[in-house]
Amino acid sequence: MIGINIYLALIAIATLLSVYRVFRGPTTVDRLVAVDIMTTITAGLMVLFALYYKRMIFLDVALVYAILAFGGVIAFARYMEGGL
């Protein structure tokens, strides 16, 4: 548990860069790409918190979050394509 501050700092920097791309992105698909990367990073963060707080139930939360984020991204992509 010594180096967990380093991992949390790296994840925080990655999330801040993704938020910059969400606000700055020239097109809508740029923002969608940034949100997709943010959901993947958040699933990893939940798994790290499961180890930090010693609760195995957070792993189930991470799995359900990954499934819902995948469905959301697919739905938004179909909407952008014009098929929904």
Partner 1 sequence: MNALAAIGEALVLIGTFFYFLSALGLIRMPDVYNRMQTSTKSATLGSLGVMVGVGIWALGTDFGSAAWLTKTVVIAVFLLLTNPISAHALIRAAYKSGIPLWEGSVVDKYREHIEAKAKAPEETPKEGGEE
Positions touching partner 1 (CB under 8 A) are 3, 6-7, 10-11, 13-15, 17-18, 20-21, 27-30, 32-34, 36-37, 40-41, 43-44, 47-48, 50-51, 54, 56, 59-60, 62-63, 66-67, 70, 73-74, 76-78, 80-82
Query: Do the Cβ atoms of 81 and 73 come closer than 8 Å?
Result: no
| DSSP letter for each residue of 5-73 | HHHHHHHHHHHHHHHHHHHH-SSHHHHHHHHHHHHHHHHHHHHHHHHHHT-THHHHHHHHHHHHHHHHH
Nearest approach, Cβ of residue 20 and partner 1 (Å):
7
Residue found by looking up tokens 């739905």 in the block: 75
Nearest approach, Cβ of residue 5 and partner 1 (Å):
11
Nearest approach, Cβ of residue 64 and partner 1 (Å):
10
